[in-house]
């Protein structure tokens, strides 16, 4: 598991906590790793911006060479406003209204459509255009049921056995299918499940089904470890197995197709950390509870997905090890970062660091209990290159009052 080597204690002298700290070098490292792993392919990465839409991070990743995978019209607008070219944006939304289809289509981005209803309505509005199709790979995988997107009951993607229906809709509206996509789930530990999903998808890519394909898109889900018990993925084996599959596909299809990925966690999870302060220690007859100045309004993954986030006591790293529940300041029993976590003694005023907090943390944060979103900073090395202050309570109330 990756642990950032940043002097977090000195940062809190200049920035208030709760404080999100992002290490840009780590994002660059992971981006380069992915591109290098698939250097034998024409590989293109589209960053799943829903993982973290901090504008500085989006621009940083775009400048590395990545495009952007978007899931809402506003994400498209943000990407365009940040200077991402429309050709570098894919739109993978679901359950769209016709107005949303029209609005997104007029921006000129490529749609990745995951239902026959949306394909039909898109075709009526934008006939004779190019589309990517999102299929459900018929594999259930991912680190929690709420982020598994494949399988017969999933709302995502077109079922593989609906290919004929899809072909008929595309023919009716003159749609040219240039991309075939799947996203199986997030945090897929099991390489064989990922590869099974790849195999299921590749099986439908034939010149007879889809004569105009330019790329295959395997979505996100690339695994990174969140806990010391989890092993780093064997990415070399992963990449070589995928490349073998692609070689066969390219031969049977009759041309080399481009390869797309749309990672979120893989690129940004390790870069982020949430620095929080302990306000209250409670001793319930030996059961210790450390109450902090943050909560699931700032980092919801433990509550939403039972996710493990590594936590360190940065202001008392050598204290006596004790067991703690680490909780937030939100008025809700489930507001819990960790239960029974062994940590060096935590004293009131100590600073705790929640690791791997770069993906689906700030972007899922809310103003629940009318607490403001945290401050965010981005670092290159130890230098702060971007600072987004927390909104003030006054600005929050002004927004509510309109």
Decide whether 146 or 282 has the Cβ nearer to ligand PLP: 146
Q: Which stretch binds ligand PLP (CB under 6 A): 120-128, 182-190, 290-298, 312-320?
A: 182-190
| DSSP H or E stretch at residue 248 | helix 235-253
Is position 179 an interface residue for ligand PLP (rule: CB under 6 A)? no
Residue given tokens 């950390």 in the structure block? 273
Nearest to 367 by CA among 302, 272, 297: 297
**Interface with ligand PLP includes 221 (CB under 6 A)?**
yes
Which of these ranges, 158-166, 240-248, 262-270, 302-310, lies near ligand PLP under the rule CB under 6 A?
A: 262-270
Q: Does 356 bind ligand PLP (CB under 6 A)?
A: no
Options 118, 120, 138, 262; binder of ligand PLP; rule CB under 6 A: 262
225 lies in the binding site for ligand PLP (CB under 6 A): no
Span of 27-35, 36-44, 213-221, 361-369 interacting with ligand PLP by CB under 6 A: 213-221
**For ligand PLP, which residue of 52, 92, 136, 271 counts as binding (CB under 6 A)?**
92
183 makes contact with ligand PLP (CB under 6 A): yes
**DSSP secondary structure letter of residue 317:** T
Interface with ligand PLP includes 222 (CB under 6 A)? yes
CB of residue 180 to ligand PLP, shortest distance in Å? 14
User: Rounded to the nearest whole angstrom, what is the least distance from the CB of residue 17 to ligand PLP in the complex?
Assistant: 26
Smallest separation (angstroms) from ligand PLP to the CB of 223? 8
Contacts for 118-126: CB closer than 8 Å, 24+ residues apart: 118/94, 119/158, 119/166, 119/169, 119/170, 119/175, 120/169, 120/173, 121/96, 122/175, 123/169, 123/170, 123/172, 123/173, 123/174, 123/175, 124/173, 125/98, 125/101, 126/101
The residue annotated as part of the active site, out of 170, 331, 361, 378, is 331
Mark the segment that binds ligand PLP (CB under 6 A) among 56-64, 172-180, 214-222, 288-296: 214-222
Closer CB to ligand PLP, residue 41 or residue 143? 143
Task: Please report whether residue 239 would count as binding ligand PLP according to CB under 6 A.
Answer: no
Produce one character per residue of 371-385: b if its CB has 16 or more CB atoms within 10 Å, e if not.
Answer: bbbbbbbbbeeeeee
Query: How many binding residues for ligand PLP (CB under 6 A)?
Result: 18
Options 69, 75, 118, 335; binder of ligand PLP; rule CB under 6 A:
69
Query: Could you tell me which stretch among 103-111, 120-128, 219-227, 348-356 binds ligand PLP (CB under 6 A)?
Result: 219-227
Cα–Cα distance for residue pair 257/247, rounded to 1 Å: 10
Which has the closest alpha carbon to 10: 19, 25, 2?
Answer: 19
Pairing between β-strand 67-70 and β-strand 89-91 as defined by DSSP bridges: parallel
Q: Of 187, 253, 248, 259, which Cα lies nearest the Cα of 218?
A: 259
Active site residue 331: yes
263 binds ligand PLP (CB under 6 A): yes
Q: In b/e form, how buried is each residue of 98-129, taking b as 16+ CB within 10 angstroms?
A: eeebeebbeeebbbbbbbbebbbbbbeebeeb
Q: What is the DSSP letter of 178?
A: E
Half-sphere exposure (Cβ direction) of 60: Cα atoms closer than 13 Å: 24
Phi and psi for 395 in degrees, rounded to 5? -70, -35
Q: Which is nearer to ligand PLP, 224 or 314 (CB)?
A: 224
Residue among 24 and 48 whose Cβ is closer to ligand PLP: 48
Contact footprint for ligand PLP (CB under 6 A): 48, 51, 69, 92, 147, 183, 186-187, 219-222, 262-266, 359
Catalytic site positions? 331
């Amino acid at each position: 598991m990756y642990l950032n080597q940043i002097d977090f204690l000195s940062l809190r002298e200049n920035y208030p906590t709760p404080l999100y700290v992002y290490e840009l070098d780590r994002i660059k490292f992971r981006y380069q790793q992915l591109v290098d792993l698939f250097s034998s392919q024409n590989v293109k990465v589209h960053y799943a911006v829903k993982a973290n839409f901090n504008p500085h991070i989006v621009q940083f990743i775009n400048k590395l060479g990545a495009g952007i995978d978007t899931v809402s019209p506003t994400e498209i607008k943000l990407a365009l406003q940040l200077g991402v070219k429309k050709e570098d944006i894919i739109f993978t939304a679901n359950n769209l209204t016709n107005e949303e289809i029209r609005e997104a289509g007029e921006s000129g981005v490529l749609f990745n459509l995951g239902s026959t209803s949306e394909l039909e309505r898109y075709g009526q509005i934008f006939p004779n255009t190019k589309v990517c199709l999102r299929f459900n790979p018929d594999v259930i995988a991912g680190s929690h049921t709420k982020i598994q997107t494949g399988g017969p009951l999933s709302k995502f993607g077109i079922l593989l056995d609906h290919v004929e229906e899809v072909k008929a809709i595309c023919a009716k509206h003159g749609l040219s299918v240039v991309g075939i996509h799947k996203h199986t789930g997030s945090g897929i530990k099991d390489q064989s499940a990922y590869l099974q999903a790849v195999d299921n998808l590749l099986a439908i890519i034939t010149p007879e089904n889809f004569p105009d394909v330019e790329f295959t898109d395997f979505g996100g889900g690339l695994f990174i470890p969140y806990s010391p018990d989890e092993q780093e993925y064997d990415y070399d084996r992963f990449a070589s197995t995928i490349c073998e599959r692609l070689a066969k596909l390219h031969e049977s299809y009759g041309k080399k197709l481009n390869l797309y990925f749309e990672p979120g966690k893989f690129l940004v999870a390790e870069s982020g950390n949430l620095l929080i302060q302990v306000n209250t220690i409670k001793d319930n007859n030996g059961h210790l509870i450390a109450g902090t100045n943050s909560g699931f309004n700032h980092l919801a993954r433990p509550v939403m997905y039972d996710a493990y986030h590594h936590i360190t006591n940065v202001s008392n790293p050598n204290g006596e090890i004790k067991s703690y529940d680490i909780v937030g300041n939100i008025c809700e029993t489930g507001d819990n970062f960790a239960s029974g976590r062994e940590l060096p003694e935590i004293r009131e005023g100590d600073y705790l660091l929640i690791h791997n907090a770069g993906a689906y943390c700030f972007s899922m944060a809310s103003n629940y209990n009318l607490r403001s979103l945290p401050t965010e900073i981005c670092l290159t090395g130890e230098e702060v290159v971007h600072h987004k202050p927390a909104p003030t309570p006054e600005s929050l109330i002004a927004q509510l009052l309109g």
